[in-house]
């Protein structure tokens, strides 16, 4: 009897599913997408209805061959790829490639990899979803059009290798706009006044000045604060009003993708990329010993907070047993998803309450456990009773001044027994307990101390990964499956950098963003990008043809593209003008983009080749970085050496540049100070001029160079063994002398392994095979000299063709 074939994306997912589908099924993995648009050209026929030209991805030919072979003899074929757009696209492309009758091919959807879920999905398969596939295809083509048509413009106008992205460029713009807000921000001074008061009963408590003459207290400077302090010094303080009320804090819903990424950043300091990688492993399955591989969480790419009835029943039973009836609400807690959420999906939750975090901890890595515990606690807490606080607000009168004190007492912890939501920085929590004494209206209070405090308004903070994801989500930019990729791409392409967990745009990121905003206002418009996401959602729901969505986008985009080819500023040739003047010729200085980043250059180039490093101050103004002189003297021309910064950090350069181009590496000495690094000398001599060869470091690693540079520019590669630490300065001698010149013989290693050579190379080029007797007698020395040689053959008899 023939077997059925189940196809998934991941080998890990395949191993987990194989535990639940036994002898009647064969499980194969596609290892992700099998087809995509070509890498080296647009691959979209715009004139013929945006027809995509899909190709089998390099490296997937063998995978597809195995899948096709298995499909030919299969009774039925179940495409069990992920339940999102990307998974649907993989399923369609596999169906096209295996070329089997439609009646034989079935789509299988499941939200969790458990025995019950898998068996139910296979028992009730569905058809391939064309609308979902076309929504993915439309997104892929949109991204290709933007990336492949704008990027060449950036290569031509700015620098080769740059790229633009439909969503990621908007994310960079958000960061650039925030940076401009920070630079334009002007801090305003203000003061607060706190009174430390005491009643007949302990404890003493603090109250803050809230109103003056029934108006909100606004103290602008120290002089105003001193006037108020003098007034208050002799005034009586008494309780004017007391308000007591019960406040309930309700549990948050279970995680969706964006909230999981935000919380993992706040609590665990995981990047979005790391969070999704860990969640993927928990979803696809973890080996739990005797129980085998088990999927521990539901599908991790979702924007729905829906929970299945079975999961609700199970978690309610668990709460009542674990925490008692007091923590279990009378009815399940239901949460509302955002407007465009895919309600077919569930929220991110544990697949079963029997897999408590501590019970599976020994089977998980440290980071896997931390994320799983976060998901577990949030889900269970979402179905618990709210926390209850007794909150008291006391208003205290002192003449025309009104002070306010707030007390909060936790009466019932509820869901907070298990889970407390983290807050973004600069967001004050309301749940800290603050105790007040028993007070009555009319009580006279004793003033213990008045404390004035100076403050300054703060600029908006830079985004963290958590707050940027939150901003993207609130503005409708991107979707759950794209956030991690967006954040990863903008950092990899050096448009964005991080400092103490905060993201900020680089000079390159701001430059490219300004050019794109000027020339492609719609593409970089936040509202337009969110509207395009809505259009793709309509395609998935079958309410909009995918070709129409592309046509609506492409017509205005093409007009902007043609204008930009003519009007976009030529940064590569002319640079970006500044207000600075060249101190050598008086011409304006411009910002140019080089291999190692942006720099200031004279606009009178090539007549004047003056260049300067620059930086921006807190207000965004350009300031020239002054070269720091050192006590080092250039050994080639005698001019002082200065410290400069390049792609690989700080280095010493001759101040007589460009007449003298001498440079040196810098090292940190034992006192933490920078000093010139000395070239590492070797026993070799340059075969062109006879000067000693030294070891230098370039962009591709260490190499041998003539110490007589730049008069002699001879250089050589260093063999792999030397890169691992075997230096030419300490060759291992054989104990014999060269028969041709009498110099000592040493062990060397060439492309085919170790051999014996004259130490007087290159004047003497004598070499000798390592014979079996030599190998036996000198094995110890050979292994010490070449520790990286294979153990199974430390040396090998050979005839070297080149002395390396």
747 is annotated as an active-site residue: no
State the pLDDT at residue 237: 96
Q: Which pLDDT band holds residue 425 (cuts at 50, 70, 90)?
A: low
State the pLDDT at residue 783: 30
CA distance 524 to 520: 6
Residue 765 has pLDDT above 80, yes or no: yes
Residue 348 has pLDDT above 60, yes or no: yes
For residue 286, give the DSSP letter. E
What average pLDDT does this structure show over 529-542?
92
State the pLDDT at residue 750: 73
Decide: 403 and 394 in contact? Cβ < 8 Å: no
How many other C-beta atoms can be found within 10 angstroms of the C-beta atom of residue 45? 11
State the pLDDT at residue 618: 65
pTM for the model? 0.75
Note the pLDDT tens digit of each residue in 208-267. Answer: 999 999 999 999 999 999 999 999 988 999 999 999 999 999 999 999 999 999 999 999
Of 46, 48, 45, 133, which Cα lies nearest the Cα of 93? 133
Of 556-560, 705-709, 718-722, give the lowest mean pLDDT range. Answer: 718-722
Residue 729 has pLDDT above 60, yes or no: no
Q: Which pLDDT band holds residue 34 (cuts at 50, 70, 90)?
A: very high
Q: Phi and psi for 79 in degrees, rounded to 5?
A: -90, 105
Of 328-342, 507-521, 593-607, 657-671, give the lowest mean pLDDT range. Answer: 657-671
State the pLDDT at residue 785: 28
State the pLDDT at residue 261: 94
What average pLDDT does this structure show over 159-186?
91
Residue 611 has pLDDT above 90, yes or no: no
Decide: 159 and 593 in contact? Cβ < 8 Å: yes
State the pLDDT at residue 648: 60
What average pLDDT does this structure show over 594-615?
80
Note the pLDDT tens digit of each residue in 255-295. Answer: 999 999 999 999 999 999 999 999 999 999 999 998 889 99
Residue 323 has pLDDT above 90, yes or no: yes
Note the pLDDT tens digit of each residue in 710-727. Answer: 788 888 877 544 444 434
Q: Which two tokens stand for residue 115?
A: 């025995």
Residue 492 has pLDDT above 50, yes or no: yes
| Chain mean pLDDT for the chain | 85
What average pLDDT does this structure show over 428-434?
63
Helices (H), 493-615: 507-519, 526-540, 546-567
Q: Phi and psi for 529 in degrees, rounded to 5?
A: -65, -40
Of 290-304, 418-432, 511-525, give the lowest mean pLDDT range. Answer: 418-432
- Residue of 54, 133, 299, 495 marked catalytic: 299
Q: What dihedral do alpha carbons 288, 294, 300, 306 form, nearest 10°?
A: -120
State the pLDDT at residue 571: 83
What average pLDDT does this structure show over 167-191?
94
Decide: 789 and 795 in contact? Cβ < 8 Å: yes
For residue 568, give the DSSP letter. S
Of 140, 257, 129, which Cα lies nearest the Cα of 540? 129
State the pLDDT at residue 4: 92
Angle 346-349-350 from CA coordinates, rounded to 5°: 130
Helix (H, G, I), strand (E, B) or coil at 303: coil
Q: Which segments of 114-204 are extended strands (E)? A: 189-198
Higher-confidence residue of 144 and 621: namely 144
Note the pLDDT tens digit of each residue in 583-600. Answer: 888 888 888 877 666 788
CA distance 348 to 785: 56
CA distance 511 to 518: 11
CA distance 686 to 692: 6
Burial 163-173 (b: 16+ CB within 10 A, else e): bbbbbbbbbbb
Decide: 301 and 256 in contact? Cβ < 8 Å: no
Residue 334 has pLDDT above 70, yes or no: yes
Q: Which two tokens stand for residue 688?
A: 């062109």
State the pLDDT at residue 58: 87
Residue 688 has pLDDT above 80, yes or no: yes
Q: What is the share, in percent, of the chain residues with pLDDT greater than 70?
A: 87
Decide: 208 and 193 in contact? Cβ < 8 Å: yes
Residue 505 has pLDDT above 80, yes or no: yes
Residue 10 has pLDDT above 80, yes or no: yes
Residue 460 has pLDDT above 90, yes or no: yes
């Amino acid at each position: 009897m023939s077997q059925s074939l189940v196809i998934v994306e991941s080998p890990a997912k395949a191993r987990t599913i194989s535990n639940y589908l036994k002898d009647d099924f064969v499980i194969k993995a596609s290892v992700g997408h099998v087809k995509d648009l070509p890498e080296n050209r647009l691959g979209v026929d715009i004139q013929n209805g945006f027809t995509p030209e899909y190709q089998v991805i390099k490296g997937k030919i063998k995978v597809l061959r195995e899948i096709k072979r298995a499909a030919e003899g299969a009774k039925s074929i179940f495409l069990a790829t992920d339940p999102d757009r990307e998974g649907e696209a993989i399923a369609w492309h596999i169906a096209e490639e295996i070329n089997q009758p439609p009646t034989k091919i079935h789509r299988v959807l499941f939200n969790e990899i458990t025995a019950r879920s898998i068996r139910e999905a296979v028992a009730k398969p569905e058809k391939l979803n064309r609308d979902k596939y076309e929504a993915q295809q439309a997104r892929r083509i949109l991204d290709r059009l933007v990336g492949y048509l704008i990027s060449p413009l950036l290569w031509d106008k700015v620098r080769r290798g740059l790229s633009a992205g439909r969503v990621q460029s908007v994310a960079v713009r958000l960061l650039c706009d925030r940076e401009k807000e920070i630079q334009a921000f002007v801090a305003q001074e203000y003061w607060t006044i706190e009174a430390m008061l005491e009643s007949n009963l302990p404890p003493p408590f603090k109250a803050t000045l809230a109103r003056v003459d029934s108006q909100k207290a606004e103290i602008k400077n120290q002089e105003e604060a001193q006037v108020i302090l003098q007034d208050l010094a002799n005034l009586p303080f008494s309780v004017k009003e007391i308000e007591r009320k019960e406040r309930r804090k309700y549990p948050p819903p279970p995680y969706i993708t964006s909230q999981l990424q935000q919380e993992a950043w706040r609590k665990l300091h995981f990047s979005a990329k790391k969070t999704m990688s860990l969640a993927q492993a928990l979803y696809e399955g973890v080996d739990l010993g005797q129980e085998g591989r088990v999927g521990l969480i539901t599908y991790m790419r979702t924007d729905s907070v829906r929970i299945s009835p079975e999961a609700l029943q199970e978690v309610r039973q668990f709460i009542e047993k674990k925490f008692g009836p007091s923590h279990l609400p009378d009815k399940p807690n239901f949460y509302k998803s955002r407007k465009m959420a895919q309600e077919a999906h569930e929220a991110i939750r544990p697949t079963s309450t029997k897999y408590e975090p501590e019970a599976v901890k020994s089977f998980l890595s440290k980071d896997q456990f931390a994320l799983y515990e976060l998901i577990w606690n949030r889900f269970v807490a979402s179905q618990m009773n709210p926390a209850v606080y007794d909150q008291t607000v006391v208003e205290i009168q002192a003449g025309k001044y009104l002070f306010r004190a707030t007390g909060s007492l936790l009466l019932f912890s509820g869901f907070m027994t298990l889970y407390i939501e983290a807050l973004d920085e600069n967001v004050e929590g309301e749940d800290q307990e603050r105790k007040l004494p028993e007070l009555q209206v009319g009580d006279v209070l004793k003033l213990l101390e008045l404390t004035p405090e100076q403050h300054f308004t703060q600029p908006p903070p830079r985004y963290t990964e958590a707050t940027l994801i939150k901003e993207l989500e609130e503005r409708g930019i991107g979707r759950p499956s794209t956030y991690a990729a967006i954040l990863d791409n903008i950092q990899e392409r050096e448009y964005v950098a991080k400092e103490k967990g905060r993201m900020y745009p680089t000079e390159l990121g701001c430059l490219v963003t300004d050019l794109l905003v000027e020339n492609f206002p719609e593409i970089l418009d936040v509202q337009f990008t969110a509207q395009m996401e809505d259009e793709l959602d309509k395609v998935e729901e079958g309410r909009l043809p995918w070709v129409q969505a592309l046509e609506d986008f492409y017509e205005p985009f093409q007009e902007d593209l043609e204008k930009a080819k003519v009007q976009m500023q030529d940064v590569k040739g002319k640079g970006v003008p500044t207000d600075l003047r060249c101190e050598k010729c008086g011409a304006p200085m411009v910002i140019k983009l080089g291999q190692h980043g942006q720099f200031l250059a004279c606009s009178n180039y090539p007549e004047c080749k003056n260049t300067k490093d620059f930086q921006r101050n807190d207000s965004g103004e350009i300031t020239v970085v002054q070269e720091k002189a050192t006590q080092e003297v250039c050994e080639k021309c005698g001019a002082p050496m200065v410290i400069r910064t390049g792609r690989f950090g700080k280095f010493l350069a001759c101040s007589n540049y460009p007449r003298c181009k001498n440079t040196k590496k810098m090292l940190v000495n034992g006192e933490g100070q920078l000093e010139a690094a000395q070239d590492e000398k070797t026993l070799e001599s340059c075969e062109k001029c006879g000067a000693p060869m030294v070891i230098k470091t370039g962009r591709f690693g260490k190499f041998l160079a003539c110490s007589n540079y730049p008069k002699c520019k001879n250089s050589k590669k260093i063999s792999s063994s030397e890169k691992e630490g075997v230096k030419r300065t300490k060759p291992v001698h054989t104990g014999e002398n060269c028969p041709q010149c009498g110099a000592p013989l040493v062990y060397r290693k060439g492309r085919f392994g170790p051999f014996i050579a004259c130490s007087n190379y290159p004047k003497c080029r004598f070499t000798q095979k390592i014979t079996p007797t030599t190998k036996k007698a000198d094995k110890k020395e050979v292994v010490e000299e070449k520790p990286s040689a294979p153990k199974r053959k430390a040396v090998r008899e050979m005839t070297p063709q080149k002395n390396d």
